[in-house]
Structure 1
Amino acid sequence: MDKARFCHLTVDSVKKEAYVWHEADWKFSDEWHTHQMGQLIFVEKGLQYLHTAERTYLLPSQHCAWIPPGLAHRTSSPINPVYLRCIFLNKTSDSPFFKELNIFHTPKVLREMILFTEQWSRLEEEEPVEQDFIKALVGILPLTFNTSIPLVLPVPRDPRIARIVDYLTACVDKGGAVMNELKIPEVAATFNLSARTMERLFKQDIGITVAGYLKLYKMIKAVELLSISGENVKSVSMKVGYDSVSTFSNTFQQVLGLRPQEMMAP
């Protein structure tokens, strides 16, 4: 692998308290990695998935993620190009915000501050004005954070459940009749299980029911589609299996606390 194309894999070699990297066509790597530095990500355009050993997070357009230091992860995206604006931080604060991976709305003041850091992108030399500005940004982050958006899927540990999840998500991704004809007893029979046994194994492994997982995956798939320019709420609701736009919108708000229109690509 050409490490030069994946600077986020070697960013700890930069000897600064903060390192800014803005990239209009981010090159994703399937390699699991960690940073000694924490990472703030703002998605200017497109979307990305953040994968940890236990969960998969969707980071949509115009939203931020905070990845704490030392957390093993990898990244991916189903679309390109993806414009990411990243700030790697060696020093933060004792705020609980910096201890957990969070996906969150980008307040206007934070967005403007992140955009302002573009002038220091990939600068490896110390710059006093940059360092002072980043310190102010670090102080603002916990103050502007309200709540984490639940765009997260649990990762199965049981190989049997992993195969079922792959089957269910493939049906949703295909859409149309394949998805609309999904019946839990028939899915269970496909894997030589009873519906009751499949439900029990599902809850034991990932903590939610099959129907609950399907609903959550459909909503995350909807956010992914809404992040693509040219899509609208009606077209997305149909693609994830909802004939009624109002039912889709109400379910979306129930699961994510937002209306679909709030997640549409600008």
Structure 2
Amino acid sequence: MQNAKSKCSLTEQENGFFDDSIEKRAYIWYEENWQHDDYEHLHQRAQLTFVKEGYQYFHIDDKIYLVPQNHVIWIPSLQKHKITSEAETVKLMVSLFKHIPENDFYGKVHVFLAPSVLKEMLLYASKWNKLTEENNEQEVFMNALLTSLPNFCDENLSLQIPIPSDKRLLEVCEFISESYHENHSIEELAEKANLSTRSLQRIFKQETGISVKKYIQLIKILKSVELIDSSQFTLSEIAYKVGYKSLSAFTSSYLAVMNVKPKIIKKVTF
């Protein structure tokens, strides 16, 4: 991202819409230190983002999607999105596709851990970083990657943070996010929303699709992802900081959300 008017060689035309004059079907943009614009935008090309280091939050419709290290997110064409991150360094590769296969998969947002085969394919494709001229090998290679993408997808729905529309629930969600290191009772949260505990649980599940208890767990684990990325704390310290009384309890909860056990990952380069 160079500035507010240019992004990945796409040029802003108006109201956050970015277009490009590049003819090639797939275009690749890799950044060692990604800079965020923090405003909603969209573009004609569909987007596959691979986070090599750090993490990103994608704000799309009524959800916030966490894309941690070694994960990818697929964003359909003309889908409005905003990107934020508190990570000190974000290394990622964006693949922008002009023509998409006719398959329901490509019309929805997907977030999943990049399996080793996909990761290696993306790493190989980085050699075409920012090249705009036609390249036969790249066209064949990226078309194979795009066609195989649905088979690589093992979706992790836990990486989606639902955003309720009810103002009372929004206040509860904000309170949970701001005080994630504490363990609030349902009664305390219900009082915050000026609702009975039964009403809070019913309306929350109705609006978000998950329980209040699950939402609290989700926020704690997503916050732990940020702390792990900082490389400043041990796993035991992180467990305590997000409100768990033991490392084993934190590990069990992390595994339930992320499908892998937590570990401190050393920073690497492409």
Q: Offset at 1:41?
A: 0.8
What TM-score do you get using the length of structure 2 for normalisation?
Answer: 0.86
Contact 2:8–2:29, Cα closer than 8 Å, also in 1: no
CA offsets 1:61-119 (integer angstroms, 9 cap, x no match): 11111112222211110123211111101123234432321111112222222122223
Q: Offset at 1:231?
A: 3.7
**What letter matches 2:153 in structure 1?**
F
Q: Secondary structure, in 3 states, of the residue corresponding to 1:260?
A: coil
Q: How does 1:1-266 map to 2 (within 5 A)?
A: 2-4=4-6, 7=9, 10=12, 12-13=19-20, 14-148=22-156, 150-172=158-180, 175=181, 179-180=182-183, 182-261=184-263, 264-266=264-266
Equivalent pairs: percent with the same residue? 33
CA offsets 1:228-261 (integer angstroms, 9 cap, x no match): 3344322221111111111222222233332223
**What letter matches 1:265 in structure 2?**
I
Q: Offset at 1:199?
A: 2.5
CA RMSD of aligned residues (A): 2.2
Distance in structure 2 (CA, Å) of the matches to 1:69 and 1:27: 22
Shift of the 9–41 alpha-carbon distance from structure 1 to 2, 3 Å rule, reads: farther
**Which protein has the bigger strand share?**
2
Count of aligned positions? 258
Shift of the 254–109 alpha-carbon distance from structure 1 to 2, 3 Å rule, reads: closer
What TM-score do you get using the length of structure 1 for normalisation?
Answer: 0.87
Shift of the 46–2 alpha-carbon distance from structure 1 to 2, 3 Å rule, reads: same
Shift of the 239–140 alpha-carbon distance from structure 1 to 2, 3 Å rule, reads: same
**Which protein has the bigger helix share?**
1
Unaligned runs of 5+ in 2: 13-17
Distance in structure 1 (CA, Å) of the matches to 2:100 and 2:209: 33
Contact 1:6–1:29, Cα closer than 8 Å, also in 2: no
Unaligned runs of 5+ in 1: none
**What letter matches 1:198 in structure 2?**
L
Shift of the 221–116 alpha-carbon distance from structure 1 to 2, 3 Å rule, reads: same
Q: Secondary structure, in 3 states, of the residue corresponding to 1:115?
A: helix
Contact 1:68–1:101, Cα closer than 8 Å, also in 2: yes
Contact 1:46–1:82, Cα closer than 8 Å, also in 2: yes
Contact 2:87–2:226, Cα closer than 8 Å, also in 1: no
**What letter matches 2:234 in structure 1?**
N
